[in-house]
Structure 1
């Protein structure tokens, strides 16, 4: 009888949603005005089962119609979403009925925290900004198969970006029916940062409708912004906010066993090792949190996706280690592309080789409603000729009027001899930045100044710059300008242009520069059956030495066309002019390319298909001059989806470079097959193969992950490296690791 009553209540709940959608029953109108919701307080416990069968759901606040977000941002979504919201003293509850036929659902993965596949699957997400400051918040979402994604959202380079490496406890359930699917969330208040004095929270809901290849939101988000944009949230009024409960510490110890063999070493015996360590999260007051890590292990982190580098500059590989990713916007959002005052991969990695971290600590949070702080410290042990080092990074961000803020950054690296700093080998930087965002988010600006110091105490050791940009979805333009002095030495940062390699001397040399990057473009959205948009754009990147001498300049004109299914093509024509400052060996030629000024042109074409298909892929090619020779690039990708459990693909990039005389010739190949199999929402197997002739390495990385309890995992990782010429084994290893979450 109870099951029958629950089913009837659920039927009545859905019926009320249909009546609301038809505007037939006045009393079902939402508590809604200009994207404002009044959350309903309840006293009963809710079972998170994807049924929404408790009578409290009938009393909960219901949202209005969802609005189109993309590919157009006008009108109501065809396949609507009904969302209810309520809360008690422990949880914020969200229920969503997503109208879509079962056979039309597109599900890319069952794996947790796969952000890319989440947005390519039928899904439902909520964005929360409990402090309502439009600077950072939280993301919770599921796809129609129950695969969860959660993370923090923050502003980086004027755009809202998610960080799905943030993990915390929350609950969800999904039930699929013939004509709709239901998502139910229970988000513990203790899992998010909020202020009991703030009764108006920022909130928005995002719906992925992959059959129609459309996205919709409850609060209107213009085309020029992502659906999770925290500058375009609606408002949730939450009265009688539960007082913050004293939170206990969270401890997550791990145990690891590994077996490795280096076949290239003189003594290539098998090395077996056992490691233990732990991570901990400790509340400090109401709004600060201390994160600790002791003997951290990163053997289960995704491997870097390799690239072919034929430029004169270093490649920026993103951070993937969880300890450095959580709240990373506090430390890593300074600077601009290609010039980062803090780059966390400088800690624990040296030229790609692992340097063991003994311990790390990080304090982050709010000292007040408008003041956010972060302090990070880590200590590495000595390895071979590399001394032990201690690293400190501190950041502060003060919100001003609206979405404007000022922030400051301090970094320090000090070498250690035993337990004491040497005092003779250090690097420090300090800097400040001003960020402006207009109320509608169209205008963004940044001004920055950073200064460095080493034991040599050089003069002219700074970099300064500014960025101003505009974008409204239809037109965009902007300009970035920076000046980097020769003696701006930042060993904890990343600068792709400051260091230039002198192949004749065999050393890197610092070359200060002025940098300029203007861009502009516009988008046309025709009223056509199969064309979504055309975009025409142009940009320039150029630099000179600080004395005004020319270094390089690239001019590019571009055309992009997107179809209704989000496939498309792009074309670009590019002219490059480079004044080589030093003799250079681009592709291991017998002779060095001499100091001279080179001008060369290239044409590029790229095609990509609808990613929703069972089979999808891309093709790309570029050809033209390359310094005093030629370069032809060709490649593509092919992907196959087995819904909902499997994704299989391969990518290929080939380059053929021919320089005259003895300056070099090369044909380079990069092949990267990959496979991802999800046996359930908690068990997955991922494998990457990367064959790279430029690096003369063939890497095999395979990882099995089982989430056997809340926030607790078992990993098995196999890693293998071979030479590309004869496939001789370089090294091989296997890791077994288990961690457990105590709360």
Structure 2
């Protein structure tokens, strides 16, 4: 009971929150009318092409200040015909434009360049939407929008058909977009959509928006969009059946397999099908999918006691994934798609997959997915099914549920036949978006009939311009098993017995932040302020397990540079013998460990041709010390190339008898954009901890919309003598029918 006061940290915030009226939908309205002209996508304003359509020309500052009007203004016009919605944007500037790269769908390059973005909420639920953006160099990015922890998040992994054209002029650059109606999901009877326009002006390190709203919400916020008013409801798009076949020619060899004496050459075919069951409900099918063109995983250094899970990279699982993945918390996910088709780091072939997602009504969104894997070596075939729903209540609040089933589809031991999870969550969100709180309850079901199979808790945050705070409490039973999810802290490894033991826990995690914004236009600082975050872990019986306490002071400069000073303190009750730096050393014994460290993080002006950042830290580490140094540098050859190198060094010295180790991680990246249709990505990585040296190269030519040719090369070497482990070369072609 001594920890009970932590439960009420958020209460004063709720009681003293100020009322704020969200009226951007009524204040900012754009009347879009159907064109009578033939629209040509050429980055030019053709005769009579746009003259009869209203212009939006009064953009407001959003970052680094939300006061006043934009220094470099933007004019926007929109129209539509039977098949497309069109946009024209005229972005005024002083011609010192920054383009990081011509490579498409690259989040860092996009936001680091001068850019223009269009965001839609066609359903009007303020829960999910679409993003279309293009840089001054013509590099495109499309994405889906979703609500996560009260804020709008962006997933650039969504890929669909649309087109843009950019042309540069003296004193401004011009954007034209053409977005097919069949790319969008919308209510065919609605005459009002949510919409906003965002301008990235890197010369002034500024982001400006059509609607005016508080700086504590990001520019793509679905809660502060304006209204796109149609002169007539847009008709349901015709031709809503799309077939996207692929073929691959691959040559692969595993040099660690003594039975493979020559490369294995294969020709494979498969494909994806998209069917619009209605204007707001979509069915996606895939058969014999191939993910060879997915980005390579980044190597990591892991000196924690638990496994680290790498992000999903496969497009079939990423599109519309928020309806399945937006459950649980940041480190506990009931559903994690990377658990499907990957076992112990090895790819398991998939026979087919089906996904139904979209809105049944304005307020009810559903998602159903089913995937069947093949037999691969000792892994028997499995069927994975997941179903989820989101019901909007009380304007912005959401009640949602999920059910997950992993079922063996061949003879298997009784205790491995299935694994199931189910959960319900309710998220209350205030109308202005400042306050939200999520309450959840989940269960897992195994053939063994385990008890203590629960996971429940609540989490939320409250945000104003200067003050932000959040809280999280999770209670996890020792048998809350997530075979198709992520729950790393549940599994504890005993280095002496080589056994994994499940232990339930309670997490209490409050955080606070306070910012001071500069009022002087000549100041070199945008803002500065402190933040603190704390994590307390208790065992299932209420006894102490671990605490982490952190305090930081941050500086954000006008020239995009940033500086953070961080102090950290940890106390750990080590319950099992643990090897942190390798199995060659004596495991750390059971007992209490207290240690502290200090970190300095600095990132230089991101607008420069050469950009660098560093993270330096030193302190005690269990019964020894740890020195960490990270240095990253990137050089830009505008607009065609960006090259970068990252070096991460850890020097860990434990007490005598428990070992010392120096861990090195080096990563080299080269992104070359010959045009916005032809790009070449290269990644070389060296990781002394995993004893792996890898090289990845992918050439991509988008020879027509949503149709690509890929040439992918990948190889891995052992760092001891650099003996080769495996090598592959893949030629892949996709075609959008």
* Cross-structure match for 2:282: 289
* Cross-structure match for 1:592: 587
Determine helix, strand or coil for the equivalent of 2:317: helix
- CA distance in 1 between partners of 2:622 and 2:346 (Å): 32
- CA distance in 2 between partners of 1:120 and 1:592 (Å): 45
* Cross-structure match for 1:177: 169
Is the counterpart of residue 485 in structure 1 residue 477 in structure 2? yes
Shift of residue 423, structure 1, vs aligned partner: 9.1
TM-score (norm 2): 0.94
Alignment of 1:116-515 (within 5 A): 116-267=108-259, 268-417=261-410, 425-515=417-507
User: Structure 1's 258 and 422: CA in aligned 2 closer, same or farther, altered over 3 A?
Assistant: farther
Shift of residue 242, structure 1, vs aligned partner: 2.7
* Cross-structure match for 2:566: 572
Determine helix, strand or coil for the equivalent of 2:580: coil
Determine helix, strand or coil for the equivalent of 1:497: helix
Shift of residue 655, structure 1, vs aligned partner: 0.2
For residues 60-93 of structure 1, the C-alpha deviation after alignment (integer angstroms, 9 at most, x for no partner) is 1211410001111110000000111222222212
- CA distance in 2 between partners of 1:587 and 1:41 (Å): 65
Determine helix, strand or coil for the equivalent of 1:331: helix
Shift of residue 294, structure 1, vs aligned partner: 0.7
- CA distance in 2 between partners of 1:411 and 1:462 (Å): 15
For residues 471-505 of structure 1, the C-alpha deviation after alignment (integer angstroms, 9 at most, x for no partner) is 12311111100000011111011012111111111
Determine helix, strand or coil for the equivalent of 2:223: coil
Q: 2:727 aligns with which of 719, 732, 741?
A: 732
For residues 165-184 of structure 1, the C-alpha deviation after alignment (integer angstroms, 9 at most, x for no partner) is 22222221111001111111
Q: 2:555 aligns with which of 561, 579, 583?
A: 561
Determine helix, strand or coil for the equivalent of 1:211: helix
Shift of residue 283, structure 1, vs aligned partner: 2.0
- CA distance in 1 between partners of 2:113 and 2:440 (Å): 39
User: Structure 1's 245 and 638: CA in aligned 2 closer, same or farther, altered over 3 A?
Assistant: closer
For residues 15-63 of structure 1, the C-alpha deviation after alignment (integer angstroms, 9 at most, x for no partner) is xxxxxxxxxxxxxxxxx97111111222222111111224141111211
List gaps (5 residues or longer) in structure 1.
1-31
Shift of residue 394, structure 1, vs aligned partner: 0.3
For residues 101-158 of structure 1, the C-alpha deviation after alignment (integer angstroms, 9 at most, x for no partner) is 33x0100111221122111111111101111111111111111111111121111232
Q: Kindly indicate whether the alpha-carbon contact (under 8 Å) linking 2:38 and 2:49 is maintained by their aligned counterparts in 1.
A: no
- CA distance in 1 between partners of 2:202 and 2:294 (Å): 30
* Cross-structure match for 1:615: 610
List gaps (5 residues or longer) in structure 2.
1-24
- CA distance in 2 between partners of 1:660 and 1:161 (Å): 44
- CA distance in 1 between partners of 2:397 and 2:75 (Å): 34
Determine helix, strand or coil for the equivalent of 2:442: strand
* Cross-structure match for 2:715: 720
Q: Kindly indicate whether the alpha-carbon contact (under 8 Å) linking 1:288 and 1:366 is maintained by their aligned counterparts in 2.
A: yes
Q: 1:92 aligns with which of 79, 85, 94?
A: 85
Q: Kindly indicate whether the alpha-carbon contact (under 8 Å) linking 1:414 and 1:421 is maintained by their aligned counterparts in 2.
A: no
Determine helix, strand or coil for the equivalent of 1:494: coil
Determine helix, strand or coil for the equivalent of 1:117: helix
* Cross-structure match for 2:515: 523
For residues 329-350 of structure 1, the C-alpha deviation after alignment (integer angstroms, 9 at most, x for no partner) is 1000101110001000000111
Structure 1 stretches of at least 4 aligned residues deviating more than 6 Å after TM superposition: 420-423
For residues 206-259 of structure 1, the C-alpha deviation after alignment (integer angstroms, 9 at most, x for no partner) is 001111111100011321121111111011111212321343311111111111
Q: Kindly indicate whether the alpha-carbon contact (under 8 Å) linking 1:415 and 1:421 is maintained by their aligned counterparts in 2.
A: no
* Cross-structure match for 2:692: 697
Determine helix, strand or coil for the equivalent of 2:284: strand
Shift of residue 723, structure 1, vs aligned partner: 1.2
Alignment of 1:674-693 (within 5 A): 674-693=669-688
Question: Higher RCO, 1 or 2 (CA under 8 Å, sep at least 6)?
Answer: 2
**When the two structures are aligned, how many residues end up with a matched partner?**
709
Q: Kindly indicate whether the alpha-carbon contact (under 8 Å) linking 1:261 and 1:733 is maintained by their aligned counterparts in 2.
A: yes
- CA distance in 2 between partners of 1:82 and 1:245 (Å): 28
Determine helix, strand or coil for the equivalent of 2:409: strand
TM-score (norm 1): 0.94
Determine helix, strand or coil for the equivalent of 2:204: coil
